Amino acid sequence: MRKFIFEKLEALLNIPSPTGNTEKAMAFVEEEFKSLGLDTGRNNKGALIASLKGLNDEREVTLSAHVDTLGAMVKEIKPNGRLKLTQLGGYVWNTVEGEYVVIETLEGKEYTGTIISTKASAHVYGKDADEVKRDMDNMEVRIDERVNSKEDVLKLGINVGDFVYLDPRTTITPSGFIKSRHLDDKAGVVSLLAIAKHLVENNITPKYTTNFFISNYEEVGHGASASIPEKTFEFIAVDMAAPGEGQTSDEYSVTICAKDSSGPYDYELRKSLINLAKEAGLNYKIDIYPYYGSDGSAALRSGHDIRVGLIGPGVDASHSYERTHVEAIENTIKLGILYLTR
């Protein structure tokens, strides 16, 4: 299973999929589910639903993960030939300073560049280079082409609204760490693929018909707000956990979330998940996130009458240059399998 995790996660991380432009990554995931023999379909927003028949077909459970990631779009072409950006998803500007990017035009042309501050050179700006505020107005993309004006940029085919991809810089270390942007939530997506693979290849039928819901607008808050299969009575969002000061999560465990910014998750479902993890001897944590929302949050806000839980691998430096350990993903997979079969 570890080889599968590394191979599929690295492949998926290297497919750009910022919110609003996720089709290539979604097609990759869809083919993976199809190769396992699952029935697949899309909703009008482009989200993927893959289904596996269970012993009980009258009630269903749905597990979700999201393939959309942080990114940016061209907000403005500046007179000096640099690009002003607007964010996709919530991140702090200084976490992308110096990052390599790819700008994709509507015609499919791609150009590379770098996100830098408007006062990047210490030799030119001195103290101001350090003190300039990192925000939308003071950060820009330096395009790797001979451009010195807005007209030069337009001739390349770059325009307002073009997507800008952050370089994922994916690295897998011999010690089992995975470093990359966009582990949120591609680590969750690969967890669902691994769960489905385990069930299919071991001829295990889940207790209830199971849907794997891969959303594509989670980072902007409405990923699983629609199209959850109507027989669903329980919904588990599989998304990153966030280690840090004051948190119990770590990079080696599956975290069971008790509460986030949208409120507490279902109490009985949380107890059931904890008991499963405890009985199986899994490395697990229980945590609360005050600045976090999930596809489960979106599902509840949109009025779905379902019980919702949230689990996922611990991912350090969330919405920055992220890192997790393969053990956290493995523990997430194991808990998912136990949930579906016990």
Q: Which residues are catalytic?
A: 218
Instruction: Give the β-pairing of 208-215 and 56-66.
Output: parallel
Give, in order, the Cα–Cα distances in Å from 66 to each of 39, 159, 162.
Answer: 19, 28, 22
Q: Return the DSSP state at 314.
A: B
**Edge-to-edge strands, sheet with 177-180:** 171-172, 177-180, 322-325
Contact 311, 258 (CB under 8 A): no
* Helix, strand, coil distribution of the chain in percent, nearest 5: 30, 30, 40
Q: What is the DSSP letter of 203?
A: T
Residues 282, 285, 286, 290, Cα dihedral to 10°:
-140
Distance from C-alpha of 315 to C-alpha of 325, rounded to nearest angstrom: 8
- CA-CA distance, 81 to 62, in Å (whole number)? 47
Q: 239 — phi, psi (to 5°)?
A: -145, 165
Token pair for 305: 């009458």
Place of tokens 């009258």: 58
Give the β-pairing of 307-313 and 322-325. Answer: unpaired
286 and 248 in contact (C-beta within 8 Å)? yes
